[in-house]
Amino acid sequence: MKHGFYSRIAMENIQKNRRLYIPRILAEAGLLGCFYILLTLAMDARLSEALGGAYLSAFMSFGAVVIGLLSFILILYVNSFLMKRRKSEYGLYNVLGMEKRHVVKLLFTESLITSLLSIALGLLLGVLFYKASSLLICRLMRSGIVAGFYYLNAVTLLIPAGIFLALDLFAFLINSITILRMKPVELMAGKHAGEKEPRIRWLLLIIGLLTLGSGYAYALTVKSPLAALVGFFAAVILVIIGTYCLFVTGTTFVLKCLKRNKGYYYNCRHMPAVAGLLFRMKQNAVGLASIAILATGVLVMISTTVSLYSGVQDTVNTNYPQQLYLSANQTEDDTVTSIPSSSLTEIVESAAEEYGLQIEHIEAEKMLTVSYLTRGDALLTKTEVTGGWSPEELTGAIFITENTYTQLKGQTYFTTDARHLDLGKDEIAFCRIMSTVRNLGEAPETLTIHGKEYRVKEMISYFPVSINMGTLVDVVGIVVADEDALEEIYLAQKAAYGAYASEYMDRIGVIFADEEAVSAVAAAFTRTVIDKLRASYPGALSYSLDTKWEALHNVLDMYGTFLFLGILLGLVCLFSTILIIYYKQISEGYEDRERFQIMEKIGMEAQEVKKAIGSQMALQFFLPLATAAVHTAAAFPILLKLLKILMLTNTQLFVSCTLITLAVFALVYTAVYLLTARTYYNIVH
Amino acid sequence: MEILKVTDLKKTYTSRLGGAQVQALKGVTFTVEQGEYVAIMGESGSGKTTLLNILAALDKPTSGSVELEGKCLDALKEDKLAVWRRENLGFVFQEFNLLDTFSLKDNILLPLVLGRTDVRELERRLEPVAASLGITDILNKYPYEVSGGQKQRAAAARALITEPKLLLADEPTGALDSQSSAELLRVFSQINRNGQTILMVTHSTDAASHANRVLFIRDGVIFHQLYRGDSTNEELYKKISDTLTMLRTGGDRG
C-alpha cells in the first residue's frame, strides 16, 4: 500500500476524533511551550547578565525538570484515554483485513502527525511567549528593563523538540504493543471491557489513613521552621500517598456506606449517581486523586509565591530599620581591633557629601552577639551542656547596654516607648526579636546566663538593633545595665568558646533623608565608601557593609524567580487539571450514554436524568476541590513556618493570598466544570 | 374489557437522502383485551418495531390513534410521557437492557425508585415477583455475573414489579439459547395466567406459539390473525408455520 494512503486515513481519523485529539495536541503544545520558556530563561546569558540573578538559572532549570516529569505523566495518561476509546476502531481495521503491522503503521502515521503538530505549535507558542516571559521576569525583579528579549537558538529549540518527540514515541510504542498483543475480538470489545464493582481494600484504607494522618499531624504540630524545612517534603509525600490510597478505597468505602443506607440509596436522585460512581471508582480514583493533588499544588505554589513577593518590602523594612550598616576590623600583629565608629561615621559622611546625599541620622551601636542553647530559663554555652542538643534549642542573643538602648530609643526614629529602664546591676530587659520556636517562656521572670541569674525587669517589644541572623532560630535581644555588665558577659563567653568566641561589634547604622536618591546611586556610593575606608586604613582590613538596597535586590531576585516559577507551574498544574477533567468527562460521557438511555426507556424523566447526571458529576468534581482546600488548610501552619525562613512573617498577608488564590481557583474550576458538564451532557443525550 | 385499542395507525418516514417517503405502517387496527397474550409476528422491515415504539410512546404516529384503557396517547404531554410509561407499561427488550452498575435487585427496583416508592414497600413488592421468576437466589449478583436467561428473567421482573397494565416484550427470546427461551416463555405463560396482559413482538414461531392470539404484520398492515382456541402449543406452532409459509410464498388471505 502506498504511503499516501496511510497519511490520508490518519488525517481522516484525527479529524473524526477531534474531540479527543485537539485537547491532546493543545496540551502537549502548552507543556512544550512552558518547557521551552523555562529552558531558554535558564540558558539566556543576556538575561542573567542583565539581572545578575544567581537563582534564576538554577530555579528555571528546576522548573523545566518538573514540567518534563509532569508532561511524561500527563501525556501517558491522555494517551491511555485515547487508546481506550480507539481500540475498537483499530480492531475493526484488523477484522476488515488489515494486517496488524499495517494497523501499527497507521497508528505510527497518526502519532507522527499529532506529535509534529504539537511540537511545532508548542515551539511557536514558546518563541512567541518568550519575550513576554522575559519581560515579566524583569518586571518582577524591578530591574528597569522594559523591552524583554527575543531569543532564538538551535539548542533551546532542539532539546524540547527532542524530549517531546521521545515522549510521543514512547506512547506510540506502548500503544503498538497493546495492538500487537491483543486479539481483534478483544480490540473491538475494548470499550466495553467489563468493570466490576470494587471491593473495599482494608489494608490500603489503613495505609491511607495512617499516611495522611501522619502527614497532617506533622504539618499541624511542627514547632520550628528548621524541622519544617527538614520534614516538609516527607509530609508532602505522605499526604500524596494518603490521598491516593483514600481516593482508591476511601471513596469506595463511603459509597458503600451510602449504598447500605437504604433510605438514602433508594432515591431516584441518589441511586444512579452512587451506583455509577461506585462502579467506576477503580479507574476514577486515581484521576480524582491526581486532580486533588494538582489542585493543591496550584493553591500552595501560587499563594506562597504571591505572598512572598508582595511581602518583599515588608520583609526588608523589618530587617533594615537603617539603610546602611558598616563595621570594620583591622588586624595588626595578630590582634584584632575594631575601627571606632567615629571614623566610620566620618567616612560615610564624606562619601555622602560627594554624592550630595543628605544623612538624616547616624547611630553608633556597640553590641555583642552570642549563640546559646536554651534549657528552661537559662542560656547555656555548648560547653555547659553535656550530651546532645537539637538545633531547635539554638538561640542567638544580642547584648547592648542600657546606654546604647536609651540613645537609640531617644532618636525620633524609634520613639515608641520613652520610658527609662533604670536597670540595676543584675537586672536586664528582654526582647524577642525573632521567635519562631519560642524556647524561652512567654515572659520569663529570670534568665540565667553563664551561670548567673538576672532578673528580667522589663519585657520590651521593640529592639532598636537589628542584625540579620537568618530566621531559622530564635533571636533575643538583651539590654544590660552598663559597660561592666556587658564586659562580664563578653569575658564569660570568651572563656567558654575560646577561639570561637564572639567579638564586640562596633557598627554604625545610617539613615538617609531620601532613600530613593541613595538607591539610584547605590553601587557607586558603596564603592566610594569602601575606597575611602581602604585609604584610611591601608593595613589588613576586614569590613562588613550591609545595605538595604542590596538586600532588597537579593530578595527580589529570589522571590521574583519564585513567583515566576510559581505562576508558570501553577498554570501548568491548572491546565493539567482541566485536561484530566475533560478526558474523564468525555470518556465517561460515552460510557454513561447507554446507561441513561436505558433509564429513559424504563421511565426516567428527562428532567430526572439531568438531575441524576448533575449530582453524579458534582460529587466527582467537588470532591477533589474540597480535598485540595483541606490539604491547603492543613499545610497552612507548616507553610507559615517555611515562609518565616524566607523572612515573611506577615501571617495576615499569607492568609489573604491563600484565600484569594482559593477563590480564583474555585471559580476557574467551576467554570471548567460547567463547560465540560455541557460536553458530557451533549454526549449522553 | 378492552385494554388497548389501536385505530388506523399510519407512520411515514422521510428518508434523509432524497426525501423519499417510506410508509412503515399503512393503517393498523386491532384491540387487545384485558388478560390477553398477543404475539405480533412479522419479518424484518414489516413495521413491527415501529408499531411497538408507537405503542410505547417512544415514537409518534403520523395519523391514527392508540388508546390505553380508553385514554388516548396523543393527549399526553411530552414531559409526562416518561411517567406515563413507567406507570402503565412494562418493557422486556431483546438485549435485556440491564444496567451493569446495578445488582439484579437494584435493576428490578429501579422503576419503583424512579416512582419514589417507599423503601419498605420496595422489599415487599420485590419478593413475590422474584419468586415467581425464580431469581430469588441471584438477586445480589450483577448482570455480568449471570447467564442470558437469568438476565432476561431479571428484566421481566423489572417490567412486572410496577404491576403494569400492559407488558410489552420486544423479541424477548432473541438473544437466548433454546433452553433459556423455553423457560422464559413458560414464565410468560404463567404470569399471563395470573392475569397479566402481554403484547410480544417476535419473529420466533416458538415464542409466538405460546400466545393466545397471533397477529401477522406485513408491509405495514395486519395481514392475518390466528386465535389459539383450544389448540395446544404444538398445534398453534403448526398453524403459525403454515401461515408464515403462505405469507412467504406471497399468497393472499384464504
Q: What is the distance between the alpha carbons of residues A94 and A178, in angstroms, rounded to a whole number?
A: 13
List CB contacts (< 8 A) between B89 and chain A.
603
Q: Give residues with Cβ within 8 angstroms of B56, minimum separation 6.
A: B85, B89, B91, B168
- At B139 the pLDDT is 92
Of the candidates A540, A402, A419, A379, the residue with the CA atom closest to the CA atom of residue A465: A402
A570: left (phi over 0), alpha (psi -120 to 50) or beta: alpha
**Cα torsion angle, A120, A125, A126, A131, sign:** positive
Give φ, ψ of A585 to 5 degrees: -60, -50
> With contacts defined as CB-CB under 8 Å, which chain B residues touch A283?
none
Which candidate from B98, B102, B116 shows the least CB-CB separation from A275? B102
Is the pLDDT assigned to residue A423 strictly greater than 60? yes
For residue B87, give how far its alpha carbon lies from the nearest alpha carbon of chain A (Å).
8
Give dist(CA A336, CA A345) in Å, integer. 20
Task: Quote the CA–CA distance of A555 and A557 in Å, as a whole number.
Answer: 5
Q: Which residues of A touch B125 (CB under 8 A)?
A: none
Within 10 Å of residue A336's Cβ, how many Cβ atoms? Answer: 11
B146 touches chain A (CB under 8 A): no
- Chain B residues in contact with A602 by the CB 8 A cut-off are 86, 91, 97, 110-111, 114, 158
Rounded to 5°, angle at Cα A650 from A475 and A308: 105
Cα B89 to its chain centre, rounded Å, is 9
Query: Which pLDDT value is given to residue A36?
Result: 93
Q: What is the C-alpha separation between A111 and A105, in angstroms, rounded?
A: 10
Would the CB atoms of A603 and B100 count as touching at under 8 Å?
no
| Residue A277 distance to chain B (closest CA, Å) | 9
Asked whether the beta carbons of residue A196 and residue B113 sit closer than 8 angstroms, the reply is no
Query: What would the grid cell of residue A594 be?
Result: 447507554
Cell of A242: 494518603
Mean pLDDT of chain B: 86
Q: Quick check: A443 contacting B, CB < 8 Å?
A: no
What average pLDDT does the segment A12-33 reach?
90
Query: What's the pLDDT band for A189 if we cut at 50, 70, 90?
Result: low
What are the b/e assignments for B226-237, b being 16+ CB within 10 Å?
Answer: bebeeeeeeebb
Find all residues with CB under 8 Å of A537, minimum gap 6, and list them.
Answer: A328, A330, A339
* Three-state DSSP class for residue A603: coil
CA dist B195 and B89 (Å) reads: 15
| Residue B236 to chain A, least CA–CA distance (Å) | 32
Specify the range with the lowest mean pLDDT, choosing from A87-101, A179-193, A410-424, A618-632.
A410-424
CA–CA separation, A507 and A338 (whole Å): 9
Mutate to test the interface with A, among B114, B117, B167, B170 (most CBs of A within 10 A): B114
For chain B, say whether A608 makes contact (Cβ under 8 Å): yes
DSSP one-letter code for A246: I
User: If you count residue pairs, one on A and one on B, with CB atoms under 8 Å apart, how many are there?
Assistant: 72
Q: Above 80 in pLDDT, residue A147?
A: no
Question: In terms of DSSP bridges, do strands A378-380 and A446-449 run parallel, antiparallel, or are they unpaired?
Answer: parallel
Look at B99 and A598 and tell me if their CB atoms are within 8 Å.
Answer: yes
Instruction: Inform me whether the pLDDT recorded for B251 exceeds 60.
Output: no
> At which residue does the C-alpha cell 476514577 appear?
A284
A260 touches chain B (CB under 8 A): no
Mean pLDDT of chain A: 83
Average pLDDT (A630-647) is 86
Is the CB of A603 less than 8 angstroms away from the CB of B111? yes
> For residues A617 and A594, what is the distance between their CA atoms, to the nearest angstrom?
17
Cell numbers at A454, concatenated: 538576672
* pLDDT on residue A48: 73
Q: Which three cell numbers stand for residue A127?
A: 518563541
CA A22, A27, A32, A37 torsion-angle sign:
positive
Distance CA A155, CA A39 (A): 10
Confidence of residue B199 (pLDDT cuts 50, 70, 90): very high
Q: Please tell me the distance in Å from A600's CA to the nearest CA on chain B.
A: 7
Question: What single letter denotes the amino acid at residue B9?
Answer: L
Q: What is the ipTM, given to two decimal places?
A: 0.80
Condensed to tens digits (0 to 9), the pLDDT of residues A320-368 reads: 778 888 888 887 777 777 888 888 889 989 998 888 888 888 888 888 8
Q: What average pLDDT does this structure show over B99-121?
A: 88
Beta carbons within 10 angstroms of residue B45's beta carbon: 13
**pTM > 0.95: yes or no:** no
- pLDDT tens digits for range A277-333: 888 777 778 888 888 998 898 899 899 999 988 888 877 877 777 888 888 888 777
| Of A431, A435, A365, residue with least CA distance to A400 | A365
Q: How far is A647 from chain B (nearest CA, A)?
A: 54
Whether B123 shows a pLDDT value over 80: the answer reads yes
> For residue A187, what pLDDT band results from cuts at 50, 70 and 90?
low
Q: What's the CA gap between B38 and B41, in Å, rounded?
A: 10
Q: Which of B88, B92, B100, B166 to mutate to test the interface with A (most CBs of A within 10 A)?
A: B100
| Contact in structure between A519 and A549 (CB atoms under 8 Å) | yes
Chain B environment of A606 (Cβ under 8 Å)? 79, 82
Q: What is the DSSP pairing of strand B2-14 with strand A394-401? A: unpaired
Interface probe with A: pick from B52, B53, B89, B101, most Cβ of A within 10 Å:
B101
Mean pLDDT across B17-36: 85
pLDDT given for residue A197 in this prediction = 67
Compute and round to an integer the Cα radius of gyration of chain A: 33
Question: Rounded to whole angstroms, what are the CA distances from B72 to B27, B77, B166, B219?
Answer: 17, 11, 15, 25
Q: Which residues of A touch B85 (CB under 8 A)?
A: 603
What mean pLDDT do residues A658-684 have? 86
B237 vs A: CB within 8 A: no
Does the pLDDT of residue A53 top 70, yes or no?
Answer: no
Residue A441 burial (10 A CB sphere; 0-12, 13-18, 19+): exposed
Instruction: With a cut of 90, say whether residue A401 has pLDDT above it.
Output: no
Q: How confident is the model at residue B254 (pLDDT cuts 50, 70, 90)?
A: very low
Burial of residue A415, with CB atoms counted within 10 A of its CB: 0-12 exposed, 13-18 middle, 19 or more buried = exposed
β-bridge pairing A427-434 and A359-375: unpaired
Quick check: B142 contacting A, CB < 8 Å? yes
Instruction: Name, in order, each residue with C-beta under 8 angstroms of A58's C-beta and a sequence gap of 6 or more.
Output: A42
Contacts of B161 in chain A (CB under 8 A): none
